[in-house]
Amino acid sequence: MRVRTFAATVATFAGLGLAGLAVAGNASAATPFVIPQIGAAGVELSHQETQSLASGPLPGLVDHFAPTGAVTVALQPDSALPQDEDYIYADMPSIVGEAASRPDGSVDLVVAPEGLAVVQVW
């Protein structure tokens, strides 16, 4: 049951930008992409879309329902979030929120066979 819940959460999280494209049409800045070599697909969110994501419930749902090890995070080198070589000591709302708080910050969301990857961009 947990795997199904996680799959639904990941699909919802990654589909956020794609749904925004359908609703906003040409006005949207979200850019979907596919990496066929590794069987991954994702979306690059704009700064405004990242702010919307940060203020919503989805980052918290990923923390709550994602199995351990199913989410990979790539922080920017100048991130203020605590981390060491192997672990990031922050929850998903903090990770997305930090990107949203930067002037041009955003996140990219990638769904791959191994799980979800969240990449900070600024």
Q: What are 76-84's contacts with CB under 8 Å, separation 24+? A: 76/120, 76/121, 76/122, 79/120
For the CA atoms of 109, 30, 53, 98, what is the dihedral angle to 10 degrees?
70
pLDDT digits (tens, 9 = 90+) for 20-74: 444 444 456 789 999 999 999 999 999 999 999 999 999 999 999 998 889 999 9
pTM of the model: 0.77
Lookup: tokens for 37: 């070599």
Q: Which domain holds residue 108?
A: 2-121
Q: What is the pLDDT of residue 73?
A: 96
Q: What confidence tier does 116 reach under pLDDT thresholds 50, 70, 90? A: very high
- Number of domains comprising the chain: 1
Q: What is the pLDDT of residue 27?
A: 54
Q: What is the pLDDT of residue 54?
A: 98
